[in-house]
Amino acid sequence: MQAQNKWLGIFLGLLLIFASCKRDSQTNWNADILAPLATTNLTINNLVRDSILHTNPDSSLSIVYQNTIYSLNLADQYIHIPDTSIGQKYTVDSLVLPNILINYKVSLGTMAQNLIASGQPTNQFLGNYIIGKNGTHDSFPAIANFPIAPFNFNAASFFQTATLSQDSLLFSISNQLPIALQNISYVLVNQGSLIPLLSGTIPYIAPFGTAYIYASLPGVTIQSQLSFKITSFSTVSTGSNTVLIDTSNYILLKGYIYHIRVDGAIAIFPSQDIISQNQELTQNIGNGRLFTFVDCNSGQLKVTITNAIRQPLRLTYKLLGAYDKFGHPLTAISNVPAAQNGQLGIVNQSYDLTGYSINLTGNNGTKFNTYTQIVIAHIDSTGIQTEISSTDSVHLQYFIQNIKPNYIKGYGGRDTISYTGTSPFSFASLFSSSAPNALRFNKASISLSIDNGIGIDGTVQINNLVSMNANGASVSLTDNSPNPIIGRPLYIGRATDFPLTPNVTTFNLNSASSNINDFISNLPSQIKYNVLIKTNPHGNTGTYSDFAYLTSGMNVNLNVNIPLSVMANNLILKDSFNFSLGYSQKDVANILNGTLHLIVNNKFPLQANITLLAYDNNWNLLDTLLSNAQVDAAPVNSACRATQPTKSILNVAASAQVIDKLRTASHAVMTVVFNTRSSNATCNGQFLNIYSDYNIAATITGDFNYKVKF
């Protein structure tokens, strides 16, 4: 042991002396070093998006994929309410004048004096007899054809002229004399006119009795100066019977003109509603649609008011059965200027219907598409005489625009919607970098689910479905089952309400009765379709319970379920990863040459060919390290399932020229191309299941010669 220590000390000493003596010179020698440089692991997720992969209980994988190939947007295509313009002319229908009351009393003494003043001897005798017997009981003589002076009254404070359309004239003659009256003739005239407006005869009025006269004068024009008179009457003699003769007794005339409605007048009109209309406006929505209720997401009611009346109006507009979200009715008041000098008074109003719920069943609740409105035109008393007639009018022009319902109810009509189009079908994009027909699937199944978010039943007929891939190849789906989903009407039930619950109807198609495998193996990027939709196939059943929301829709979904039982024909998996010749620039700079080893563990039961490319930091290609190098498939058992990977080592000679190219390497891309060639001959030509533990793992190591410096 001592001898060994002695020689070791001598060796180290010589080494130190040598190093110190040769400090300025360099000595190089080569060192063989094996170092791992990069790793990658390719699984089925490098082929298929993980979000659509489903692991079955036996660890085999399936693709579960859904795509909406057709969507019917109701707001644009179904519950559209067209714009409507409705013009309505309102004439003066309720022009009222103030009530007029007439009182005229004629005493017995006045009548006696009129008899004396008549100049006729008989009348003079009777007049003197009455005055002479005043205050006594005596017999009362008969008087024949005695007139009473006319009563003239002035209504100029009310009107100048008025043409009556409706009124009630009530006259009463009250006999406060102790004798009966008979054959009382009366007449009502415009002063200065001999044409009677009203005339007649009352046969008999008992002592202290009253007679009534009721009349109506439609179409008659009256002046403000009117005259009412009793043209003649007679008394009945009391004979031997005596009565108290009192000259203060009288005959009382009363006239009451009330509810005076006129077709026109020059008058000082009192404050009143001259137009009052409760009206229904029915809109033609088309296609037999009969709606009872609409909740507006947006919309406008625009009204243009044109006033031909020579007096300002206050116009009140009410849309009955229309309430906002706070329960407030739609009521609007507009001040409309008077017509002047031939110019009409005009006002434009706009009412925002957003958020309003509107009943569309009319006044009695039995109509459809019907708005109910009240229009009231009011005039205030101005104290100035104005001419207004029943030919004067207010014209309203309604514009119901841009109605977009949140919700609508009633009968939706019968529609036929035919549509041909294409829909993106990103099935091809699920398989990264693989060409169409790189995979062939076994036992694929398709279900067609139709989500009906409309409260209307119908049928959907899919006349054709065509898968179209990126290369332009197409495969039409065929269905030879007893109840095919292609080419026949499929009944779709309605959604239910409160809450909205779409009806989902599913129709299944399997590979045994169709060409689904070819349809899917085409790896379509889009689906071409022709769809025929019919609503309310049974027509109007009278329940008016159809409904639709703004968000309602009908979606036709294609649901694909594919067990990953495949045949591969140049199926591509690809991965990129970081790659460098060393851990530092100093390490890389000292590499002289060597060998790169790609160590591959393949658990796919598929033969693989590998290409390995190197790139710099900017993804510029530096070199192709491997091209189409073959890797054997993993061994399989009698069930054609791989239980352990096959290990392969692929060597790449790294000459000085190759090393120079790779000194700036930062990335590598490995492409694996699979083909169905199993290590078990009995599994070749069969569909092979893909399991969740299948992968192809690769490690790159370097066996380099380095230059070492002292």
Closest CA to 485 of 516, 457, 442: 516
Higher pLDDT residue, 151 or 513?
A: 513
CATH 2.60.120 intervals, the chain: 35-48+567-707, 52-74+417-563, 84-94+269-411, 97-260
Q: CA geometry: angle at 484 spanning 481 and 487, to 5°?
A: 140
With bands split at pLDDT 50, 70 and 90, how would you rate the model's confidence at 33?
very low
Q: How many residues does the chain have?
A: 710
> Taking the CA atoms of the chain, what radius of gyration do you get in angstroms?
55
3-state secondary structure of 639: coil
Which of 43-57, 111-125, 170-184, 592-606 shows the lowest per-residue confidence on average (mean pLDDT)?
43-57
Token pair 């008058």 is found at 267
- pLDDT of the residue at 609: 93
- pLDDT of the residue at 21: 38
With bands split at pLDDT 50, 70 and 90, how would you rate the model's confidence at 340?
confident
Which residues, at least 6 apart from 543, have a Cβ–Cβ distance to it below 8 Å?
none
- Token reading at 393: 């009018």
With bands split at pLDDT 50, 70 and 90, how would you rate the model's confidence at 159?
low
Amino acid letter, residue 690: I
Which of 329-333, 449-453, 566-570 shows the lowest per-residue confidence on average (mean pLDDT)?
566-570
- pLDDT of the residue at 431: 61
- 73-89 pLDDT, tens digit per residue, is 755 555 677 787 777 77
Closest CA to 303 of 292, 319, 325: 319
- Token reading at 233: 């009457």
Closest CA to 345 of 375, 296, 307: 307
pTM: 0.61
Residue 650: its H or E element: strand 646-654
Is 592 in contact with 704 (CB distance < 8 Å)? yes
Q: Is the pLDDT score of 397 beyond 90?
A: no
Is 503 in contact with 496 (CB distance < 8 Å)? yes
- pLDDT of the residue at 613: 96
- Token reading at 124: 């003079």
Strand 225-235 and strand 30-43: pairing? unpaired
Closest CA to 163 of 267, 59, 53: 267
Is 566 in contact with 685 (CB distance < 8 Å)? no
With bands split at pLDDT 50, 70 and 90, how would you rate the model's confidence at 27?
very low
With bands split at pLDDT 50, 70 and 90, how would you rate the model's confidence at 403?
confident
Mean pLDDT of 119-144: 90
Where does residue 118 fall: left (phi above 0), alpha (psi -120 to 50 degrees), or beta otherwise? alpha
Mean pLDDT of 144-167: 72
384: buried, middle or exposed (CB in 10 Å: 19+, 13-18, 0-12)? exposed
Amino acid letter, residue 44: I
- Say if domain 35-48+567-707 classifies as CATH 1.10.10: no
- Token reading at 512: 């045994």
Q: Mean pLDDT over all residues of the chain?
A: 82
With bands split at pLDDT 50, 70 and 90, how would you rate the model's confidence at 25?
very low
- 476-494 pLDDT, tens digit per residue, is 999 888 889 899 999 999 9
Where does residue 35 fall: left (phi above 0), alpha (psi -120 to 50 degrees), or beta otherwise? beta
Higher pLDDT residue, 93 or 551?
A: 551
621: buried, middle or exposed (CB in 10 Å: 19+, 13-18, 0-12)? exposed
- Token reading at 112: 């006696």
Q: Is the pLDDT score of 600 beyond 90?
A: yes
| Percent of the chain topping pLDDT 70 | 85
Q: Is the pLDDT score of 673 beyond 80?
A: yes
Which of 82-86, 121-125, 534-538 shows the lowest per-residue confidence on average (mean pLDDT)?
82-86
With bands split at pLDDT 50, 70 and 90, how would you rate the model's confidence at 19?
very low
- C-alpha to C-alpha distance for 692 and 627, rounded to whole angstroms: 28
Which residues, at least 6 apart from 290, have a Cβ–Cβ distance to it below 8 Å?
368, 369, 410, 411, 413, 540, 544
Residue 10: its H or E element: helix 2-21
CATH architecture of the domain with residue range 84-94+269-411: Sandwich (2.60)
- pLDDT of the residue at 308: 86
Q: Is the pLDDT score of 703 beyond 50?
A: yes
- C-alpha to C-alpha distance for 373 and 360, rounded to whole angstroms: 11
Q: Is the pLDDT score of 26 beyond 50?
A: no
CATH architecture of the domain with residue range 52-74+417-563: Sandwich (2.60)
- The DSSP secondary-structure symbol of 582 reads S
CA distances from 683 to 59, 158, 606, 637, 692 (A): 19, 114, 10, 9, 19
3-state secondary structure of 637: coil
Amino acid letter, residue 178: P
- C-alpha to C-alpha distance for 592 and 654, rounded to whole angstroms: 9
* Sign of the CA dihedral with 256 first, then 262, 264, and 269 last: positive
**Greatest C-alpha distance within the chain:** 197
Q: What is the CATH number of domain 97-260?
A: 2.60.120
Say how many C-beta atoms besides its own lie within 10 A of residue 27's C-beta. 9
Specify which of 8-17, 243-252, 370-379 reaches the highest per-range mean pLDDT.
Answer: 243-252
Tell me the angle at which helices 108-117 and 121-132 cross, rounded to the nearest 10 degrees.
150
With bands split at pLDDT 50, 70 and 90, how would you rate the model's confidence at 553?
confident
519: buried, middle or exposed (CB in 10 Å: 19+, 13-18, 0-12)? buried
* Sign of the CA dihedral with 16 first, then 18, 19, and 23 last: positive
- C-alpha to C-alpha distance for 40 and 678, rounded to whole angstroms: 23
With bands split at pLDDT 50, 70 and 90, how would you rate the model's confidence at 160?
low
- C-alpha to C-alpha distance for 163 and 264, rounded to whole angstroms: 5
- pLDDT of the residue at 35: 59
- C-alpha to C-alpha distance for 600 and 649, rounded to whole angstroms: 6
3-state secondary structure of 592: strand
- 176-232 pLDDT, tens digit per residue, is 999 999 999 988 888 878 788 889 999 999 999 999 988 777 777 777 788 888 889
Q: Where are the alpha helices (DSSP H) in 79-132?
A: 108-117, 121-132
With bands split at pLDDT 50, 70 and 90, how would you rate the model's confidence at 531?
very high
- C-alpha to C-alpha distance for 47 and 601, rounded to whole angstroms: 18
Gap between the terminal Cα atoms of the chain: 32
- C-alpha to C-alpha distance for 548 and 546, rounded to whole angstroms: 7
Which residues, at least 6 apart from 132, have a Cβ–Cβ distance to it below 8 Å?
none
CA distances from 507 to 401, 449, 479, 558, 710 (A): 41, 6, 12, 10, 80
- Token reading at 629: 């190098």
Which residues, at least 6 apart from 28, have a Cβ–Cβ distance to it below 8 Å?
707, 708, 709
- Token reading at 480: 């030879």
With bands split at pLDDT 50, 70 and 90, how would you rate the model's confidence at 544?
very high
